[in-house]
Structure 1
Amino acid sequence: MALTEQQLLDKIAEVRNEVLEGGNTRGRIADLFTNLMGWVKSLTPGTPLTVGASQVQATTYGGNNGQVTITPSGGSGMYRYRRDTSQPWTPTPQSGPFTFTGYSPGATTVYVQDSDGNTAQSTVTVRQAAPVLAGNLTIDAAKTLDWPFDARFTNRTDYELSTNNGGSYATPAAKPAVLAPGTYAANALRLRIKSGSTYSASNYLSNPAPVTIAAPEPVYNLQLTHGQSADGITLTALAGVVLKYNSPQPAGDPFPATMELFAGSTPIGSVDFNTPYIGQICGITYNGVTYHKTFVNGQLNILAKWRNYLPA
């Protein structure tokens, strides 16, 4: 520490007396100049000691290999560092920056000391690495998206989903999340932890390959009874496809029938029903796509334009 003005005057008087008495003049003069330099420095103080800190998150979710880098400025001389008040200062003074390792996610305060004993501190939040997929994004029969997280992340609910490459995020009402029909390019589906937590907004899970969600199959319902016919129910996506109901219905036998699939006026397939099949689901394939019809208590559900014929 620099001497006060009075202390320096006293020191000069001591050295003067030493010189007059012929004592250890060389050492005393060296000591005098050391104190004089300190006093001059106190008249023109340097830049105050300040410090900043930055973080590097752990490489894996739940990891403890995060890093904190301390960057001091100002003060005097070289610096010593410590990661918290329970730890000693680093033994060898050195210039900055300086990095500590082995951090888990969360807030931490680091410290720096200059050669004059001045200290400064800075607090930084070490972020958590993004949770990782344990497998691919999955689409189930109900057209919903699911995400098999790392086991340690399974019970979290503070996530949000983007379906437009991160353009906007919303909190799914439930997991799995319902997706609108359409094709989502690779990385278009992004799942992240809500901003404001210890997660970086740039950390997200995404679909590695394009995902297509098919539109729900439309179903047309019509109640059929013996002697009744109907015409002109059209599924616009299958223009020119006609489903023809063309067998007689003996009394008491609800739907013993033959279903035929037509393209225009050309028959392209049929399914025979020799028993009632009440409540059974049957499929007809056209151009590699299977369309379903269901007989339930006299109701006919089909996925194409159809026509009902009864014998004259």
Structure 2
Amino acid sequence: MTTRRAVITGTGHYLPERVVENSWFEDKLDTSDEWIRTRTGIERRHFAAEGETTGDLGIRAGRAALDKAGLRPEDLDGIVLATSTPDLTFPAVATIVQSGLGMTRGFAFDVQAVCAGFVFALANADALIRSGQADRLLVIGSETFSRIMDWSDRSTCVLFGDGAGAVVLEAQEGKGDNSDRGILACDMNSDGQYRELLYVDGGVSTTGTAGQLRMQGNLVFRHAVEKLTKTAHAALDKAGLAPADVDWLVPHQANLRIISATAQKMGLPMEKVVLTVADHGNTSAASIPLALSVANDEGRFKPGDLLVTEAIGGGLSWGSAILRW
């Protein structure tokens, strides 16, 4: 019996032109390039230009992914976009991207699960394709986190950057087992009792402002390693696979120490881990599709490779997806 699978047929990304090295913070905060590198693995990040929006970044990444897939905007049935830094309260950034791409059919909506947003968006897109609601979807993670930073807080403002990544998912028939190409399993979780560990102190129905990011970094770190390992194992179990089957771990690029600890707990060598955190910083929902696109451009993924993506963010929300290239 055959099964509809959501297969990645194109990847793309966009990074703003402005590159901010760690040294930029040294005359503004009690910090240093060495302090940031040692604790996070971050060396630089990109910041959006004045007037450059989350939607602008998403349009550029989306176009790149469509080009790689050999598709036009009118070939799409929909757009699912993950972000925590929307252009406007409404409409959804996805509709802004839809218009920017010149796509006038289908649907477009946003998903908000902070740094886990792209995994949640991927799971939603997979379900739409499996159920027959769509044949081709553009899934995007796009963020301008530089707009919600407290520039006096050295524990947070050095961590984040701006960027966008995108993948094209197309329906293909598979055999129904874990040798199929495409998304094989997803795992999604959240626990609102931990929301004060990572949040933004503003919003429409509270302060009427965008607010600024607040984080209890040590506690987030502890939750991250445990929950990322568990969600990866849960998704692998759903797919009938084990860590030994994994060719590549493509994690949320938040902190090199979190990534290293998670890989170690999964028994994966760092040679099997895609790392972009040094050059991008934490781009929240954009980090996994950015990493996928960069690694794909470098020719690192081969047909049949098994990939694990996993992320954790505010909520707390966390999840993973297993896919075969």
- Give TM-score scaled by structure 1 length: 0.19
Which of 1 and 2 has higher RCO (CA within 8 Å, sep 6+)? Answer: 2
User: Which of the two has greater helix per residue?
Assistant: 2
- Give TM-score scaled by structure 2 length: 0.19
